[in-house]
Amino acid sequence: MRLHVKGKNVEVSDAIHDYAERKLGKLAPQLADPTHVELELAVEKNPSIADNHVAEATIWTKGPVLRAREASSDMKASIDLLVDKLERQVKRYRQKRRHEHERHHERANGVTPAAATISSTEGTMIVKTKQFVLNGMSPEEAVEQLELIGHDFFVFRNDESGEINVVYRRRDGDYGVIEPA
């Protein structure tokens, strides 16, 4: 596991770097070798925010990118909370991969996908499927639609690129666009 620690509005001391490396090192046995972890430590300058020590991590795995963000009044506590959250995400990711492997194995042995789905009672279930027409629009129009429907995200076809994009509301109240690479 390769770890990169950077600071925003804070000097990352050797003690904090070593602490983060030791704590995040717990995840290494559960992740594949070429995993890259980026940890950003920040101190919010707003005096009205009590939990101003923020730890945010991004883990690039062979599969999905795992992200977590935690804040508290102490940097070490933020790192501890962050590692706890990441451990839960890694566990969920590994279970999902294990279940996918089991379903693939069951299909290879002649078990129908419906029977495999019924036998799997652990984890989350998809309870609703929606289908809709993707209209071409600009990201600004998509933000307007997002506001109208009151959801946290909106899927649309970008007029300029023709690609499917997602516009979403960020924690800070602004908006973001997800585009395929």
DSSP 100-160: HHHHHHHHHTT--HHHHHHH--SS------------EE-HHHHHHHHHHHT-SEEEEEETT
How, if at all, do strands 153-158 and 136-137 pair? parallel
Q: Which pLDDT score is estimated for 101?
A: 61
> What is the CA 152 to chain-centroid distance, rounded?
15
Where exactly are the structural domains of the chain? 2-119, 136-178
What is the Cα–Cα distance from 128 to 157, expressed in whole angstroms?
A: 22
Distance CA(14)–CA(123), nearest Å, equals 40
- Model's pTM, two decimal places? 0.56
The tokens for 176 are: 């973001």
| pLDDT for the residue numbered 94 | 76
Task: Kindly report the CATH number that applies to the domain delimited by 136-178.
Answer: 3.30.505.50
State the burial class of residue 21 (Cβ atoms within 10 Å of its Cβ: 0-12, 13-18, 19+): middle
Q: Look at domain 2-119 and name its CATH class.
A: alpha beta
Contact of 52 with 72, CB cutoff 8 Å: no
For the chain (length 181 residues), average pLDDT per consecutive 10?
Answer: 86 90 86 80 83 88 81 91 88 74 62 48 72 86 80 90 93 91 84
Q: Give the closest residue to 181 by CA, choosing from 169, 167, 163.
A: 163
- pLDDT of 118 reads 46
Q: What length does the chain have?
A: 181
pLDDT at 167: 95
Q: Cα-Cα-Cα-Cα dihedral of 131, 132, 138, 140, to 10°?
A: -80
Q: For 33, which DSSP code?
A: T
SS3 175: strand
Concatenating the DSSP letter of every residue in 34-69 gives: T-EEEEEEEE---TT-S--EEEEEEEE-SSPEEEEE
Q: What pLDDT, on the 0 to 100 scale, is given for residue 111? A: 53
- pLDDT at site 128: 80
